């Protein structure tokens, strides 16, 4: 996130983002107590880039795998996908992920209302920039349908467990179907 305001405002926004992170950790603890699936989300609607000095690594040790089969449908799957460009609708995402618990919503509202006008301006600009960004990708529900039509249990689609979660795609998982037919 790039801040153009004074240091005090930037520090307060940082504190707010840290608070959001703490809240996410608290929600994780609650999720464990309720025995629901755990996931970590890095960033929020204001974050425009997440990066680092190394690529993300997945554990892929053959000693920790079983039921290994060479049954990836390859181009039959890839050819069913429809690439699109799109803009994010953050209001729609917020509405989908809004808690059913009024106390949680009240807490987030109080955080938002406690921000200074300068902070609100910075965050509003960041959010507007995020919504202006044109992305290339797929619609997760379409990818899910394509995989289902082939009887393919594709790990690249994260299907929400309830109506308060959003679909997500693991784009790195698309390499495997490509590799199965194209090869190197």
Residues written for the chain: 184
How far apart, in whole angstroms, are the C-alpha atoms of residue 174 and residue 51? 20
pTM: 0.72
How far apart, in whole angstroms, are the C-alpha atoms of residue 49 and residue 42? 10
pLDDT in tens, the chain (184 residues): 444 444 454 445 555 555 555 555 555 444 444 445 567 778 777 777 777 767 777 788 899 999 999 999 999 999 999 999 999 999 999 889 888 888 888 888 888 788 889 988 988 998 999 999 999 999 999 999 999 999 999 999 999 988 888 999 999 999 999 998 776 5
């Amino acid at each position: 996130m790039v801040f153009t305001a004074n240091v005090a405002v930037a520090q307060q926004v940082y504190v707010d983002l840290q608070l959001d992170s703490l809240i996410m950790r608290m929600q994780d603890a609650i999720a464990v107590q309720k025995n629901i699936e755990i996931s970590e989300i890095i960033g929020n609607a204001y974050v425009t880039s997440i990066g680092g000095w190394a690529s993300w690594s997945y554990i892929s040790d053959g000693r920790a795998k079983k039921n290994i089969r060479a049954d990836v449908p390859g181009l039959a799957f890839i050819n069913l996908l429809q690439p699109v460009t799109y803009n994010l609708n953050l209001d729609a995402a917020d509405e989908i992920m809004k808690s059913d618990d009024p106390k949680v919503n009240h807490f987030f509202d109080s955080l938002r209302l406690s921000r200074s006008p300068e902070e609100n301006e910075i965050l509003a600009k960041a959010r507007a920039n995020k919504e202006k960004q044109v992305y290339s990708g797929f619609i997760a529900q379409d990818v899910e349908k394509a995989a289902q039509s082939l009887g393919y249990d594709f790990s690249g689609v994260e299907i929400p467990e309830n109506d308060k979660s959003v679909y997500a795609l693991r784009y790195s998982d698309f390499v495997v179907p490509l590799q199965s037919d194209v090869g190197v």
